[in-house]
């Protein structure tokens, strides 16, 4: 079978998946982590790279908060053992919570912040990332 140079180049590129969590629902938060783990295992089993980012905003931000994440322990394990999976919090949602609660809620260590979560997802989509909302 003859492979075109473009196909070879594409195969060398990592797969890219962005997972959206915007609901304050522990079942959906667990589903996001399940999808990230399953996709990571799938491509690892094929010997292919995959980059996964979880973008949290609105009610889904609770997933990334140190003091209230219902999936905190599992998320911390992801951060330690799965370097291809990252987590991004919406700065606007953080600011809204800070005003509402009188303090900015602490994020779990290793979580990054983007100013606008939805804009982050749009920019990833524009760079050919696959966006999924489990």
pLDDT tens string 37-58: 999 999 999 999 999 999 999 9
Q: Model confidence at 89, in pLDDT bands (50, 70, 90)?
A: very high
Q: What angle do CA 77, 89, 134 make, to 5 degrees?
A: 70
Work out the average pLDDT over 9-25. 88
Q: Which helix (H) or strand (E) holds 44?
A: helix 26-45
Is the pLDDT at 78 greater than 80? The verdict is: yes
In sequence order, what are the beta bridge partners of 51? Answer: 16
pLDDT of 12 reads 73
Beta strands in the chain (DSSP E): 15-21, 50-56, 85-90, 112-114, 130-132
Determine the Cα–Cα distance for residues 69 and 71; give it in Å rounded to an integer.
5
Work out the average pLDDT over 66-92. 96
**What is this structure's pTM?**
0.90
Work out the average pLDDT over 97-123. 97
């Amino acid at each position: 079978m003859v492979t075109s140079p473009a196909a070879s180049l594409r195969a060398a590129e990592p797969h890219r998946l962005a997972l959206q969590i915007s609901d304050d629902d522990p079942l959906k938060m667990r589903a996001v982590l399940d999808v990230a783990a399953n996709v990571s295992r799938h491509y690892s089993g094929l010997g292919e790279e995959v980059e996964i980012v979880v973008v949290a905003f609105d009610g889904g931000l609770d997933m990334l908060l140190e003091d209230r994440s219902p999936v905190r322990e599992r998320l911390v394990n992801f951060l330690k053992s799965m370097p291809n999976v990252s987590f991004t919090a919406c700065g606007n949602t953080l600011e809204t919570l800070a005003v509402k609660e009188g303090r900015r809620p602490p994020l779990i260590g290793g979580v990054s912040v983007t100013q606008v979560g939805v804009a982050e997802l749009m920019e990833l989509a524009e760079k050919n990332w696959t966006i999924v909302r489990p």
